[in-house]
């Protein structure tokens, strides 16, 4: 036991001596939470649009007034002709163009119908759909105004309510994602590189010929990363509560417990990766390709899993962070209890035991 505690102290010294890496380990989560939390948003507002009004009558003036009054659009009037539209789209100056044809007002009053043309820059399909929809809803409002005298019959009105995240901020979705990513990064990448580093520098040989048990080597390598990850976890939770107004709605103990489970799983993966890698570079690329990429890809916080091809959906079940992400979302954002995450917790426990067992079995006590 004394041996073990000495070795753990040695590993801690190694980690804490390297100020630059340490700064990154704690700087990354802080920077990510602050930047992503405040900056990333799915809300679409003040989209720059071009307005071509060939009619310039009372009706178009009224409609333009309504467009201006909504916070969805920011009108650019400096376009004189349709030819300039393409250029403006190509420069990325505008997202949409609204064109009122000649005699728009006359047509509306005399023929009872007038058509406004809308051209959206659909390179980003969802944005195009959303702003076109916003515009249509303004026109619908206007139509309702027009028919106020003749009381438009048969109106079903949907009353929309946005649950959990009414301002459509990016933070509620990104904070759990960042948690998964950061814990994964520290545990998997740092662990595998730290072990392979000893191999590359030749000090592993010394460790292996010593009477020190291999299991102690593993434990002492894992301990600092476990501690750092838990500290990181609390930093993230505190930051999101203080700055992002995202407190843990459910039980903190449950969230921390599940996080530790996830941390242990990630540590096991790091251990597993270190077994086969010979150089630090290989270990790093291995954890990038083997872990970071699947985490980014198949966790569900960047890409919607339900839209993926079936093969990828099946594969995503094997990624631990996917389950962890679900747990965090439910416990932290929705405030649900253990009864609604027991399945995910069980899966994570199974993965953790399996991976740790495999990496223990395969940890080589010889160099060749």
Partner 1 sequence: MKTLRFLLEKEFRQLLRNRQLMRTLLLAPLIQLILLPMAADYTVKNIAIAVTDNDHSPSSQRLIAKITASGYFRLAGYTASYPQALKMVEEDKADLALQIPAHFERDLVRENAKQVYVAINAIEGTKANLGGAYLRSIVSDFNDDLRVQWAVIDDAPQVTVASSNWYNPFLRFPLYMVPAILVTLVTAMVAMQSAFNIVQEKESGTIEQINVTPIRKHIFIIGKMIPFLVLGIVLFTMGLLVGRLLYGIVPVGSLLVLYVSLVVYLFAMLGLGLLLATYSNTQMQAMSLSFFFINIFNMMSGVFTSVDSMPGWAQAIVATFPPSHFIKIMRTVVLKGSGFSDIMPQLWAMAAIGLFLNTWAVLNYRKTA
Query: In 193-333, where do the E strands start and end?
Result: none
List 112, 202, 209, 211, residue binding partner 1 (CB under 8 A) = 112
Site string for partner 1, 150-189 (x = CB under 8 A): xxxxxxxxxxxxxxxxx-xxx-xx-------x---x---x
Which of 13, 69, 109, 353 touches partner 1 by CB under 8 A?
A: 109
Cβ-based nearer residue to partner 1, 9 or 62? 62
CA distance 136 to 316: 38
Give Cβ neighbours of residue 267 (< 8 Å, ≥ 6 apart): 187, 188, 191, 222, 225, 226, 356
Of the candidates 74, 45, 65, 76, the one whose C-alpha atom is nearest the C-alpha of residue 138 is: 65
Tokens of 189: 């990448």
What tokens appear for 323 in the block?
């389950």
25 binds partner 1 (CB under 8 A): yes
User: Any idea of the CA torsion for 324, 330, 335, 336, to the nearest 10 degrees?
Assistant: -100
CB of 271 to partner 1, least distance (A): 17
Among 13, 69, 215, 289, binds partner 1 (CB under 8 A): 289
Residue numbers 67-86 binding partner 1 by CB under 8 A: none
User: Segment contacting partner 1 (CB under 8 A): 138-146, 222-230, 253-261, 353-361?
Assistant: 138-146
The span from the CA of 301 to the CA of 206, in Å, is 43
Q: How far apart are CA 355 and CA 365, in angstroms?
A: 18
Q: Does 146 bind partner 1 (CB under 8 A)?
A: yes
- How many Å apart are CA 209 and CA 211, to the nearest integer? 7
Closest separation between CB of residue 1 and partner 1, Å? 29
Q: Which is nearer to partner 1, 106 or 241 (CB)?
A: 106
Q: How near is the Cβ of 24 to partner 1 at its closest, in Å?
A: 4
Q: Which is nearer to partner 1, 35 or 206 (CB)?
A: 35
CB of 14 to partner 1, least distance (A): 10
| Least Cβ distance, residue 173 to partner 1 (angstroms) | 5
Annotate 332-367 with DSSP letters as a single string: III---GGGTHHHHHHHHHHHHHHHHHHHHH--SS-
Q: Does 317 bind partner 1 (CB under 8 A)?
A: no
Q: Give every CB contact of residue 149 below 8 A, 6+ residues apart in sequence.
A: none
* Interface mask toward partner 1 for 323-362; x: CB under 8 A: ---x--xx--xx-x---x----------------------
Interactions with partner 1, residue window 220-279 (CB under 8 A): none
Cβ proximity to partner 1: between 89 and 324 the closer is 89
CA distance 360 to 349: 16
Q: Does 17 bind partner 1 (CB under 8 A)?
A: no
Query: Quick check: helix, strand or coil at residue 275?
Result: helix
Q: Which two tokens stand for residue 68?
A: 């201006």
**Minimum distance from CB of 63 to partner 1 (Å)?**
7
Q: Which is closer to partner 1, CB of 153 or CB of 211?
A: 153
CA nearest neighbour of 195 among 216, 222, 215, 213: 222
Q: Is 108 in the site for partner 1 (CB under 8 A)?
A: yes
Tell me the per-residue interface mask from 31 to 60 with partner 1, x by CB under 8 A, - otherwise: xx--xx-xxxxxxxxxx-----------x-
């Amino acid at each position: 036991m004394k041996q073990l505690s000495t070795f753990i102290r040695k590993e801690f010294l190694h980690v804490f001596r390297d100020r630059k890496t340490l700064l990154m380990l704690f700087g990354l989560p802080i920077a990510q939470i602050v930047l992503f939390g405040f900056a990333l948003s799915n809300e679409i507002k003040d989209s720059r649009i071009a307005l071509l009004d060939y009619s310039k009558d009372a009706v178009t003036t009224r409609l333009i007034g309504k467009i201006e009054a909504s916070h969805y659009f920011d009108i650019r009037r400096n376009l004189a002709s349709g030819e300039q539209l393409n250029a403006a789209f190509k420069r990325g100056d505008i997202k949409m163009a609204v064109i009122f044809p000649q005699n728009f007002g006359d047509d509306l009053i005399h023929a009872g119908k007038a058509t406004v043309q809308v051209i959206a820059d659909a390179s980003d399909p969802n944005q195009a759909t959303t702003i076109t929809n916003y515009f249509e809803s303004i026109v619908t409002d206007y139509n309702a105004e027009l028919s106020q005298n003749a009381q438009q019959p048969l109106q079903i009105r949907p009353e929309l309510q946005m649950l959990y995240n009414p301002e459509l901020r990016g933070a509620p979705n990104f904070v759990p994602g960042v948690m998964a990513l950061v814990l994964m990064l520290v545990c998997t990448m740092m662990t595998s590189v730290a072990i392979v580093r000893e191999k590359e520098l030749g000090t592993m040989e010394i460790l292996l010929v010593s009477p020190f048990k291999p299991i102690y080597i593993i434990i002492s390598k894992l301990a600092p990363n476990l501690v750092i990850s838990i500290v990181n976890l609390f930093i993230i939770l505190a930051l999101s509560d203080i700055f992002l107004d995202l407190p843990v709605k459910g039980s903190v103990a449950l969230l921390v417990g599940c996080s530790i489970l996830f941390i242990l799983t990630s540590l096991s993966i790091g251990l597993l990766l270190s077994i086969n890698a010979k150089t630090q570079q290989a270990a790093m690329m291995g954890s990038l390709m083997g872990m970071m990429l699947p985490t980014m890809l198949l966790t569900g916080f960047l890409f919607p899993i339900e839209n993926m091809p079936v093969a990828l959906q099946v594969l995503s079940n094997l990624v631990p962070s996917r389950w962890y992400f679900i747990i965090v979302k439910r416990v932290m954002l929705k405030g649900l209890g253990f009864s609604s995450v027991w399945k995910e917790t069980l899966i994570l426990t199974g993965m953790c035991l399996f991976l740790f067992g495999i990496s223990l079995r395969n940890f080589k006590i010889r160099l060749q």
